[in-house]
Amino acid sequence: MKNRTAVFWASIFLALLAAGCGVRSISDSGYRRPGEPGSAFYKGELNEFEVIGLNQDAAVAEGEIRRALESRTRLVMRKGSRIMLIQSGAMIPDEPMSAALGKYYDVAVFSGVPAKSGGANASALRLAAAKAGCQTIMVYWGLLETAQKEHGGKIISWLPIFGGVLPDESQEMRLRLKTALIDVRSGQWESYAPEPFQVRASSARFTREASDQAQVAFLKTKGYEAMVEDIVRIYAARGRSD
């Protein structure tokens, strides 16, 4: 039974590869053909545990857990407050995210490129944010998932049609986002992940890259705007009720 299960999942994995499925970071979202490496400037993602100030390998005392629960307060992000914005893996956050957040908050951007020694130092991030007058740190991560499907007429689709070519492939792309919101003063944090955004487009060989990057731009703009609206609705509203 174990061998049959392993063969089943191996066949699913190979089918996904054959279908042209792929995953890339929002911080390394340039177009590349199957098998091609990503950008040489991309150095990986921030470590979530280090961003929030926890060592995932360290022993934790039960008393420490109880004290964290007893001192827990709700995170509030009042409109107009100053926020340090960090996109994991990127030197600066994507402009659509900065613009969306800037409608409601005073945004200070900070590098999300991991240090050579590892992810990030949570205390150093909080100190940098405090010196910039920020009350909250917002670190966000994102994945772009793609799946390609060839059209039935691919063999003839390279023939010129009225100055162009017939589309021979459709690509579905999905954006998954998540964020950690960290209170600079206390170090307490909350996380949020919106529903994924998805879009489909058809392309031909000579328009593949442009079509792919148009999907990326569309999903980032819509996804970032929606996540910011949700954050404002949830966390700014708390300030009005306190």
pLDDT digits (tens, 9 = 90+) for 136-163: 999 999 999 888 766 554 443 334 434 4
In a domain, 119, yes or no: yes
What is the CATH classification number for the domain harbouring 213? 3.40.50
In a domain, 22, yes or no: no
Using alpha carbons only, give the angle 89, 210, 37 rounded to the nearest 5 degrees. 45
| Whole-number pLDDT of residue 168 | 54
- Residue 225 backbone zone (phi > 0: left; psi -120 to 50: alpha; other: beta): alpha
Q: What are residue 224's phi and psi, to 5 degrees?
A: -65, -45
Task: Calculate the alpha carbon distances from 205 to 8, 23, 129, 172 in Å.
Answer: 33, 21, 46, 16
Residue corresponding to tokens 């910039």: 132
Joined tokens for residue 190: 């909350």
Query: Is the pLDDT at 185 greater than 90, yes or no?
Result: yes
In a domain, 28, yes or no: no
Mean pLDDT along residues 39-64 = 82
- Terminal C-alpha separation, the chain: 57
Return the exposure string of 204-225: e unless at least 16 CB atoms fall within 10 Å of the residue's CB, then b: beebbeebbeebbeebbbebbb
- CB atoms under 10 Å from CB of 236, counted, come to 17
Query: Is the pLDDT at 208 greater than 60, yes or no?
Result: yes
In a domain, 4, yes or no: no
The whole domain housing 88 covers 44-241
pLDDT tens-digit profile of 96-124?
999 999 999 999 999 999 987 666 789 99
Task: Provide, rounded to the nearest whole percent, the portion of the chain with pLDDT above 90.
Answer: 49
Strand 82-87 relative to strand 106-110, pairing: parallel
In a domain, 12, yes or no: no
CB contact set of 151 (below 8 Å; sequence gap of 6+): 157, 167, 168, 169, 170, 202
Q: How confident is the model at residue 14 (pLDDT cuts 50, 70, 90)?
A: very low
In a domain, 24, yes or no: no
Structural domain count, the chain: 1
pTM for the full model?
A: 0.79
Query: In the predicted model, what is the mean pLDDT of the chain?
Result: 81
Residues 195, 82 contacting (CB under 8 angstroms):
no
Query: Which of the 8 DSSP states describes residue 195?
Result: P
In a domain, 21, yes or no: no
Residues 184, 166 contacting (CB under 8 angstroms):
no
| Whole-number pLDDT of residue 58 | 65
Q: How confident is the model at residue 28 (pLDDT cuts 50, 70, 90)?
A: very high
| Whole-number pLDDT of residue 140 | 97
Of 121, 112, 204, give the one whose Cα is nearest residue 164.
204
SS (HEC) of 127-140: HHHHHCCCCEEEEE
In a domain, 230, yes or no: yes
